[in-house]
Chains A and B, each alone.
Chain A
Amino acid sequence: MTTTSVAPGLHSTEVPRAGGLRRALRATLGRSYPRIIGANRDRSWLFYDTVLPLLGTIAFVYVYKALGAPEQFIGYVIMGGATTAFWMNVLWAMGAQFYWDKQGGNLELYMVVPCGIVPILLGMSFGGFVGTMVRAVAIVLIGSLMFGVSYNITNLPLFVLIFGVAMVALYGLGVTFASLFLLWGREAWHMAELFMEPVFLASGFYFPVRALGFWAAMGTSIIPLTLALDALRQLLFPKTHPALLPVSWEVGGLVFLAVFFIVLARFMLKRMEFLARREGRLSLRF
Chain B
Amino acid sequence: MTLAIETQDLVRTYRSKRMPGNPQGAAVVALDGITLDVPREEFFGLLGPNGAGKTTLIKVLVTLLLPSAGRAKVSGLDVVTQAQQVRERISMVSGGEHSGYGLLTVREQLWMFSQFYGIPTKIALARIDELLKVVGLFEERNRRVSALSTGMRQKMNLVRGLVPDPEILFLDEPTVGLDVGAARDVRAYIKEWIRGKPGRTILLTTHYMHEAEELCDRVAIIHKGRIIAADAPEALKRSGTGGSYFVLTTEPMDGAVWLSSLAGVQRVDTRALDGRTEIKLQLADDGAIAGVVKALADHDRRILSLQKEEPSLEDVFVRLVGQRIEEADQGSPR
Contact = CB atoms under 8 A, between A and B. Distances in A.
Interface in A163-199: none
B198 interface: yes
A113 B64 contact: no
Contacts, number: 142
Interface string B83-120: 01101111010100111110110001001111111111
A15 B99 contact: no
B89 A10 contact: yes
Interface stretch (B164-172, B231-239, B243-251, B312-320): B164-172
Contact of A17 (B65, B75, B117, B197): B117
- Of residues A10, A38, A279, which shows the largest number of chain B Cβ atoms within 10 Å of its Cβ? A10
B166 A37 contact: no
A13 B99 contact: no
B65 A277 contact: yes
A27 B87 contact: no
Contact of B100 (A106, A113, A119, A277): A106
A31 B112 contact: yes
B90 A112 contact: yes
B62 interface: yes
Nearest to A283: B64
Contact of A112 (B55, B92, B97, B98): B92
B15 interface: yes
B118 A22 contact: yes
Interface string A105-149: 110111111111001100000000000000000000000000000
Size bracket of the A interface: 35 or more
Contact of A18 (B14, B87, B120): B120
User: Nearest 7 pairs between A and B by C-beta?
Assistant: A30-B115, A23-B118, A18-B118, A113-B116, A12-B199, A13-B165, A17-B118
Contacts of A253: none
B66 interface: yes
Interface string A1-45: 101001100111111111100110011011101100110011000
5 contacts: A12-B197, A14-B197, A33-B112, A106-B100, A280-B12
Contacts of B59: 280, 284
Nearest to A15: B165
B141 interface: no
Nearest to B13: A280
A104 interface: yes
A109 to B, nearest CB: 5
Contacts of B100: 104, 106
- Of residues B76, B92, B101, B167, which shows the largest number of chain A Cβ atoms within 10 Å of its Cβ? B101
